[in-house]
Amino acid sequence: MDEPLMAFATGESEIRINFGVFAGRDATPAEIEELARALHERIQRFAIVAEHRFEFGNDVEASVRLVRVCPEGKIDDELRGRLLEICERWADSCVAERHIEVAEL
């Protein structure tokens, strides 16, 4: 089984960050604001959605803490790559500063 990616692009412009997989917690409002400041250096209008979603299936139950970056309009491949780098750096920094091990939950 492949290791999950920290950040990845979906669709034409959205970037998803597997925050909970690596941090074991939700992103704080202060961390979201820090991400927004970093992104604003590259793009003017965007939304950040921090969600805690519960998924259920036949033999699967999951609690997913995800951060989504949704730029307004389409973005080109170069900008998408730059935004992915920003998101990965931000998430790495958050995890390094404070994370919760699964055994601690």
Owning domain of residue 38:
7-104
Residue 2 placed within a domain: no
Domain count across the chain: 1
For residue 103, give Cα distances in angstroms to 11, 97, 100. 34, 18, 8
Residue 40 placed within a domain: yes
Task: Provide the whole-model pTM.
Answer: 0.85
| CATH number of the domain residue 11 falls in | 3.30.70
pLDDT tens-digit series, residues 48-94:
999 999 989 988 888 889 999 999 988 999 999 999 999 999 999 99
pLDDT at 103 over 50: no
Is residue 47 very low, low, confident or very high in pLDDT (cuts 50, 70, 90)?
very high
CB-based burial label for 33 (10 Å; 0-12, 13-18, 19+):
exposed
Assigned token pair, 8: 């990845």
Residue 68 placed within a domain: yes
Question: CA quadruple 92, 61, 69, 78: dihedral positive or negative?
Answer: positive
Residue 13 placed within a domain: yes
Rounded Cα–Cα distance for residues 35 and 31 (Å)? 6
